[in-house]
Structure 1
Amino acid sequence: MFNPYIIIRDKEYHRFITSGFIHGDMLHLLFNMFVLYMFGTYVENIFYAIYGTMGIVLYVLMYLLGIIVSDIPSFIKHKDAPYYNALGASGGVSSLLFSFIIFDPSHELCLYALDFLCFPGFIWGALYIVYSFYMGKKGHGNINHDAHLYGGLFGILFTIIAVPGVIPNFIAQLSNFSLF
């Protein structure tokens, strides 16, 4: 489990990464793996097309660093809270999801496969950021919304650094976008 208090007290820094490989229940694991498969495959293929086998290394690096980096704000926020725990790969998965959105912002995404709730990825991404920020500030429940938020932001930053041409492509896609 990711527990900042124990990490500091016992110097168990490995928890930054190992907490990303445990999940609260089967549904949590399945949802993260579904998102990983749906969006990660696309990102992996783009990185591979640009960098060859080194692209696979970049893909795995973004995922693992997404888990670690997304926990840093929670680490700072909860360092004195002995009962705070978090787990799951949501930070890494959010990194890949937002990388996907940067590569293809106008791609239509549907909420839980409900065909009537479909919007372009950049709209869902913006809503996801606002929701994660709000819920992270609210601080209720056992979901680490900060990991979702910072994982997504990390995915955007990582993608921009790894593929600088993604910004003009993103802007071009948005400039050609129309709701009608």
Structure 2
Amino acid sequence: MVESYEVRLKETPLPPSSSTSSSVQSSNKAINKDKVKEEPIDNHSQVNLSIEIQRIKDHLEQAQIDLGKCQTENTLLNAKLISREQQFDIRFKELNNQYVRMKKHYEHVSSCIKDFHTKLYPKKRLKTETKDENINKSGRVNENKSNDSNNDIVEIIMRVEPLMP
């Protein structure tokens, strides 16, 4: 802790019977005892230190510039990502709506075909299958061949492939 001369003088009590010269001598002894050693100033080390400080400041400024560039780039990339996410969501909803419409259309067409065949051929049964269902069942049909005893009912299988726009 560095103390000023006034603080030390206030802390040192003056004896009431002593003279002024003795109090001055005692305060001088206290000051000399607590005096900080002065070291010679090395101009070369000060120059090196100032150069080092300037170099560190330059590095700090460059780092701040780089940080600003990275933050700007990050902001642009986030904006682009958000934009693409919104485009993806819009496209997904469009495709989902298109799928729902096609599915409803397919179900409607299929029910119309069934109604037509039931009106046209009341004794014949109509069974519609998609191409994938037919492929999956083809292996099972070969294993489970059955002979219907009722010859009046004829099974008609239609292969319906989903329409893609």
TM-score range, shorter chain: under 0.3
Please give the TM-score of this superposition, normalised by the length of structure 1.
0.18
- Pick the structure with greater CA Rg: 2
Asked which structure has the greater RCO (Cα within 8 Å, sep 6+), the reply is 1
Please give the TM-score of this superposition, normalised by the length of structure 2.
0.19
